[in-house]
Amino acid sequence: MTERSDRGARMARELEGHLAWLDSFTGAALGILSVASGIYTYLGVSTLLDGDGAMKAFAAIAYSIAVSTAIFVFWSYMMRLFPAMRTARSRMGLLGAMGLGSLAIVAMSSWLNAAALAGAAAVEQHLAVTVQDYQTSLERANEIAVSAQGLERDVARVRQSFEDLSEQEAQGTLSGLAGRGAVFRVLRQKSAELSGLEDQIGTQAPLVTAAFAEGNAILSRMRALTVEPGPVEPRSVEFSEQAVQLAGLITQLRQLSVAPLVQRAAQDLAASVVLPELDGRTESNRNDQSATISSVLEVLQQRAQTLERAAAEVIAMPPPPETTYTPISAADAVILYARNFVPSWAGAIAIDLLPAVLVLIVSITQGLIRHGHEGAPIEDTMTIAELRAALHAARDVDMAFAPGPASATPPMEGPPAQPWNAPLQEDRDR
């Protein structure tokens, strides 16, 4: 037990020497970390304050100084008090206080440090994501418009079928009456309507192509703005202007879709039929014309339903997502895209919370020192300063209780008394 106590006392004295040496610059290290955090906090908070000039700079400097002071004072308290705690309850209480203080430091400093470290990159990430959203919306609007242009083939097919029927009627194949009578005029009437609809659809095609090409040109410029060198703020302003133009083109593409036009035309195709006067010479001929016109109207109804279903399929396609560019500050961008900037967040938090590791190290070391002193004799644990203080106290006690020259106490027989700390005769003889 004595040998173990001696080893523990020697280890405790060695650790105390190390701590004494480390304490000589620990305060300076905490000050440097606090100042560094304050500088990055100043850079981060500068992006949040409105205005320009001395007041903005003064407000940012005041906030950063307050943050630096709070970090230095908080970790100085923890460095001194937490290692001195001896009970589990007191340690848990200070550990909870350290956790709350760490959260406060992250809330008032670390996210601003991250904004200073990766704010520009986060804003560029926001621009890149917005470009992707606009590209998706533009492509979707163009896809719907092109699909609507595809209805031109359906309209042309129906128109051609009515023209073929009219030619057959002109030869007398349908009603048995050759020429251009009532049946022929009904067929020509509907083929003319479909021909006009086909022309309207055709005129939209160049507009769709031009709008999509212009949208791609704007997207190219927006992509270039996300990677251009230089400050990100002026690039964001130009990016916003381009985004407004692109949003207008996407709206234009949505309006260029002819699917609603084809749907309304299909509904009117069978509903609005101007029946001509039957021009058969005999009652039998007029009955044949009436029967043929009824058959033509049935075919017309079927073709109109086919066109309406085709147009409804285009209309039912999911519309392009609504995309709006919202300017964002560097601090907000870092929070919004935090998963893309984990290293920057780690560095920003580490510079503020690294002293927590030092607190734990000192706490563990102090615990080992106390454990090394347990069971060791007092003379093994006393420092030189404590020994000197004890010797001075013992001399003061001897002087206080030593007999004076006027004392009436008879002297004791034998050799004169010696103070407790006087060397023995045999020691002098040696």
The confidence score (pLDDT) of residue 377 equals 56
Domain ranges of the chain: 2-84+340-378, 121-329
| Residue reference for tokens 């200073």 | 116
Going by pLDDT thresholds of 50, 70 and 90, the confidence category of residue 411 is very low
- CB neighbour list of residue 25: distance below 8 Å, 6 or more residues apart: none
Half-sphere exposure of 84 (CA within 13 A, CB side): 5
Per the prediction, the chain carries an average pLDDT of: 79
Residue 310 has pLDDT above 70, yes or no: yes
Residue 376 has pLDDT above 60, yes or no: no
State whether residue 367 is helix, strand or coil: helix
| Whole-angstrom distance, CA of residue 365 vs CA of residue 183 | 108
Residue 266 has pLDDT above 70, yes or no: yes
Average pLDDT over residues 313-340: 86
Q: How distant, in Å, are the alpha carbons of 16, 277, 291, 304 from that of 182?
A: 117, 7, 11, 21
What's the alpha-carbon Rg for the chain, to the nearest Å? Answer: 48
The confidence score (pLDDT) of residue 375 equals 56
Task: Give the H or E element holding residue 252.
Answer: helix 232-255
* C-alpha dihedral sign at 359, 24, 12, 87: negative
The confidence score (pLDDT) of residue 414 equals 45
Least confident stretch, 59-68, 242-251, 382-391: 382-391
| Whole-angstrom distance, CA of residue 1 vs CA of residue 372 | 12
| Whole-angstrom distance, CA of residue 240 vs CA of residue 319 | 23
The confidence score (pLDDT) of residue 175 equals 55
Going by pLDDT thresholds of 50, 70 and 90, the confidence category of residue 73 is very high
Q: Tokens in use for 282?
A: 């005999």
The confidence score (pLDDT) of residue 284 equals 63
Q: Residues in the chain, how many?
A: 430
* Residue range 10-60, pLDDT digits in tens: 777 777 777 888 888 888 999 999 999 999 888 888 877 776 777 888 888
Instruction: Give the amino acid at 345.
Output: W
* Per CATH, domain 121-329 is 3.10.620: no
Residue 274 has pLDDT above 50, yes or no: no
pTM: 0.67
Q: Which of the 8 DSSP states describes residue 178?
A: -
Residue 294 has pLDDT above 80, yes or no: no
* Residue range 193-227, pLDDT digits in tens: 778 888 888 888 899 999 999 999 999 999 998 88
| Whole-angstrom distance, CA of residue 175 vs CA of residue 180 | 11
SS3 of 48-107: CCCCCCHHHHHHHHHHHHHHHHHHHHHHHHHHHHHHHCCCHHHHHHHHHHHHHHHHHHHH
Angle between helices 259-271 and 182-227 (to 10 degrees): 170
Going by pLDDT thresholds of 50, 70 and 90, the confidence category of residue 413 is very low
| Whole-angstrom distance, CA of residue 169 vs CA of residue 111 | 82
The confidence score (pLDDT) of residue 417 equals 45
The confidence score (pLDDT) of residue 319 equals 87
